[in-house]
Amino acid sequence: MKTSIVCVALCLCATPCLADGPWDRMQYGPFLQSSVTMPWSTDGEELDGITLKGTTVRLEHGASVCFDTDLLRYSGGWSGGWLKVMGTPFDGTHRPPERSRPAVEGKLVFGSSPIPGWSLTGAFNDPRPEPYGPIPAEIAKYRGLYVRENRVAFEYTVGDCTVLESPGAEKAQDQLLLTRKSAKLSPDGLNVFLETQPLAPVMQIAVRVDVDGADGKPIVQAIYGTINKLPD
């Protein structure tokens, strides 16, 4: 069974974040669950620009990612910030719509289309009758998350396969890599497919397969961005 590691390469561009109110100064911990307005949103209402059930995770080196618990995909990753917290639980705003929920704050590195992040067949069309709620449980099902110190790990199933993975960030070749590492993937002999086609501004993708896991299973690593070679 394949264990997947997906890395996203970007240039680190840290931007200081100024607090505007108590909702900005509050310590939210390593993650926040909310709907999130993505940077490509045009009016704050089109669903393509909103992660309806997002878990935004703080990573090392000032990076962040948003995990969509409905579609089991990373809807976006960025550097130099976290979230601009807005909406009724924070600054009390309702309208205009682009201020009715938290929004990405930082430099966008990658985004994904609102389609399932995993597939049992290799086809990633949205099987839901309307663009709300989780995908059918027989395809994939979100189980929750774990926190250890500042690390967040998501657990979900893809078919009969259990996945436990944690997003992270690390430096390599003077660039920042956003990583997703699966710590557990079972059972053996089940083929599942990972969606790895990001939206702009990602320029290219490279994939390698290593056999260096503790049990000798292959580890698949995809690098997004413009790096000269795969890191060791």
Q: What is the pLDDT of residue 127?
A: 94
Can you list the pairs that 200-204 forms with residues at least 24 positions away whose Cβ atoms lie under 8 Å?
200/111, 201/108, 201/109, 201/110, 202/8, 202/109, 202/110
CB 170 within 8 A of CB 60: yes
Q: What is the pLDDT of residue 31?
A: 96
Q: What is the pLDDT of residue 4?
A: 40
Q: What is the pLDDT of residue 225?
A: 35
Q: What is the pLDDT of residue 191?
A: 59
**CA quadruple 92, 50, 71, 155: dihedral positive or negative?**
negative
Token pair of 171 as six digits: 């430096």
Please report, as a single letter, which amino acid is at residue 47. Answer: L
Q: What is the pLDDT of residue 186?
A: 64
Q: How far is C-alpha 16 from the chain's CA centre?
A: 22
Domain boundaries, the chain: 3-224
Q: What is the pLDDT of residue 129?
A: 94
Q: What is the pLDDT of residue 128?
A: 94
Element (DSSP H or E) covering residue 93: none
The 3-state DSSP class for residue 157 equals strand
- Per-residue pLDDT tens listing for the chain (232 residues): 444 433 333 333 333 344 468 887 888 899 999 999 998 888 878 888 899 999 999 999 999 999 999 999 989 888 898 999 888 888 888 777 667 899 999 988 888 889 898 888 888 889 999 999 999 999 999 999 999 988 999 999 888 888 888 888 877 777 777 777 765 566 654 555 666 555 444 433 333 333 344 444 443 343 333 333 333 4
Integer Cα distance of 57 and 55 in angstroms? 6
Q: What is the pLDDT of residue 208?
A: 36
